[in-house]
Amino acid sequence: MLKKNWLITGCSTGLGRAFAQEILKNGHNVVVTSRNIDDIQDIIQDYPQTALGAALDVTDKTQIENAIEQTMQKFGRIDVLINNAGFGYRSAVEEADETQVATLFNANFFGMVNMIKKVLPIMRKQKSGTIFNVSSIAGRYSNPGSGYYSATKFAVEGLSDALKKEVAPLGIRVIIIEPGQFRTDFSGRSLTGAQTEIADYKETAGKRRKENDCTYGTEKGNPQKAAQAIIKVEESKKVPFRLLLGSDAIEITRLELETQIEELENWKNISLSTDS
C-alpha cells in the first residue's frame, strides 16, 4: 500500500469522522479537522503518529491557511482532499431566512471553494492529487423543503464538473460523492430549518421539517462502509466522476434519470422546433 496524506474537513461527526477513522486505520496520514478541535481529540489520541488535528472553519480563510501550513510542515504534501464540511437545511422556498441561506451557501459551497483554491497550487506543483467533493443525492434532484440545500449541492456538482476538466491534464482527479441516507447526525444535530412556517406548505415542505423527520437513526447507510468505499475508489487507477453511495442513492438516481429521459422524449418535437 502506498501511504498517502489526506486532508478532511468536517470530522467532528458523521461521514467526516468515519472517513478519518477508517483512513487512519488503513495506515495513511490524515489531517483531521473540525471547527472545535476538542471534538476530534479522541481520533488524534488514537493515532498520535499519523493524525494531525487542526481547528478549521471552512468559511474562515485564515484558519484554512493555518491548517494547510500545519499539514505541509508535518507531512510535506497533500495527496487527497475530502471536502466534507457542511450541514442540512429544511424550508419551503418562500419561508427561508436570507441570513440562514447565506450561511448555508458559505458552509456547503463557498467553504469547499475556499479549500480547493488553497490546495490546488500544492497539487499542481506535485502534478498529482485527488479531490473528493461531498455532494448528495440532493445534488441530482430536490424534495419539497430541500430547495436551498439542494441548490448548494447542485452548485457543488456544477463547479466540480468544470474543475474536473480543468485539472485532469495536470494529473489531478475530481470525484463527487453522492451519499443516500446514512446513520449520521445529518437529520439530527446537523439539520437546521426556517423559523417561519407558512400553513399552506404543511403538506409539502411541512412534512419534512426537522421535528417531523422520522428517518434519524433508521437510515440504511453505514458510515464506516462509506469510508471503505472511498478508500477503494481513491486507490483505483480509473475512477468515477460521480460516486453514488447506498442502495437508496442508486434507486432514486435511476428513477430521476429515467424521468428526465422520458420528459426529453415527450417534448422533443417542441425542443427541435426552435432550430433554424
By the 8 A CB rule, do 245 and 229 touch?
yes
Q: Centre a 10 Å sphere on the Cβ of residue 255 and count the other Cβ atoms it contains.
A: 11
Q: Is the separation of the CB atoms in 28 and 50 below 8 Å? A: yes
Spatial distance between the Cα atoms of 48 and 27, rounded to a whole number of angstroms: 12
Task: State the DSSP string of 93-156.
Answer: TTT--HHHHHHHHIIIIIHHHHHHHHHHHHHHHHT-EEEEEE--GGGT---TTBHHHHHHHHHH
Cell of 218: 433508521
Q: Is 188 helix (H, G, I), strand (E, B) or coil?
A: coil
Active-site residue set = 135, 149, 153
